[in-house]
Structure 1
Amino acid sequence: MTKALLIIDVQNAILSGKATPERQPEVDSALDETVARLALLKERARQAGVPVVLVQHDGDSGHRLAVGTSGWALRREIAPQTGEVVVRKKSADSFFGTDLADRLQERSVTHLIVGGCMSQFCVDTTVRRAVSLGYDVTLVADGHTTGDTATLSFSEIVAHHNETLDGFDAGKAIVNVRPAADIAFSESSGNNT
């Protein structure tokens, strides 16, 4: 089993305006904490020789993630380093209209460890698509986040997706949800996540 760390849409403006003015500081704080965990995972993956793939959403002109703007840029904490792949996308599905599958195949990847933004859109869609394509997936329980909606807080959305996606399968491929602290990148760890 060859693993890769897939970090989705951790961009400067990904959650800008995704909560009421009163709640935005809490959303921003949760994002900072999530990004810090992903940065640690990224460093652990690099040390273990595990491929790191960053996905970046290309928003249209006027969008908070409009290509070339400061909001579109990947967060500095997870910015690409030498040898890391950046896949640019225009939809919620990181595989749709991109070369992600080819990039993973080039590296013989069969197991994705996934984190990023936004839980109910790009993370959910990519995780489900990956399993349908035959990849085992470990979703980082505390490594994805989102903004509030009109009826749910970001923490409720994250909890819902962790519960819903844990055990989701297609054929032999399955999703396991694990906290960042429980994710191992070496095969000798005895932990298959």
Structure 2
Amino acid sequence: MSKALLIIDVQNAILSGKGTPERQPHIDAALNETVARLRGLQQEARLAGVPVVLVQHDGTPEHRLAIGTHGWAIRHEIAPLENDIVVHKKSCDSFFETDLAERLDERSVTHLVVGGCMSQFCVDTTVRRAVSLGYDVTLVADGHMTSDSGSLTFPEIVAHHNETLDGFDASMAKVEVLAAAEITF
């Protein structure tokens, strides 16, 4: 089983302005902690010779992730290095109309370790699609993040997706949810 680390949409403006003035500082602090954990996994993966894939959402000109803007750039803490793979997408599904599957197949990847933003959109959709395509997935329980949404706070949304996706399967492929500290490459 060949693993790859897949980090989705950890871009400068991914959660900018998504919270109320009272909640935004909490969202920003939690995102910084999540990015630090993902950076640790990224460093471990690189040391183990495991492919690192960064997915970058290409927003329209009026979007907070508009192509070429500061908000669109991948956060400096996890910026890609020369051997990392960067995949550009325009929808929640990191596989939809991208070359992600081909890039993984070139490296004989069968297992994805997934983290990133936003839990209920791009992370959830990509994890489910990966499993349906036959990839085993380890979702980093403390390595995905989102903002508050309606009556739910970001910790509730993250917890919901950890509970919902743990054990999700399609045929032989399935999802396991583990904390960053429990993941090895």
- Code of the residue aligned with 1:140 in structure 2: it is V
Aligned positions of 1:1-193 closer than 5 A:
1-185=1-185
Determine helix, strand or coil for the equivalent of 1:162. helix
Moved over 2 A (4+): none
Separation (CA, whole Å) in 1 of partners of 2:49 and 2:116 = 21
The Cα of 1:150 is off from its aligned counterpart by 1.4
Aligned residue pair count:
185
Separation (CA, whole Å) in 2 of partners of 1:146 and 1:18 = 9
Instruction: State the TM-score, normalizing by the size of structure 1.
Output: 0.95
Instruction: State the TM-score, normalizing by the size of structure 2.
Output: 1.00
Deviations 1:114-170 (A, max 9, x none): 000000000000000000000000000000000001110000000000000000000
Determine helix, strand or coil for the equivalent of 1:164. helix
Separation (CA, whole Å) in 2 of partners of 1:88 and 1:41 = 21
Determine helix, strand or coil for the equivalent of 1:116. strand
Structure 2 unaligned spans of 5+: none
Q: Percent identity?
A: 76
The Cα of 1:19 is off from its aligned counterpart by 0.8
The Cα of 1:81 is off from its aligned counterpart by 0.3
- Code of the residue aligned with 1:42 in structure 2: it is Q
The Cα of 1:112 is off from its aligned counterpart by 0.1
Structure 1 unaligned spans of 5+: 186-193
Separation (CA, whole Å) in 2 of partners of 1:151 and 1:19 = 12
Considering only aligned residues, what root-mean-square deviation do their CA atoms show, in Å? 0.3
The Cα of 1:63 is off from its aligned counterpart by 0.5
Separation (CA, whole Å) in 1 of partners of 2:120 and 2:149 = 10
- Code of the residue aligned with 2:113 in structure 1: it is I
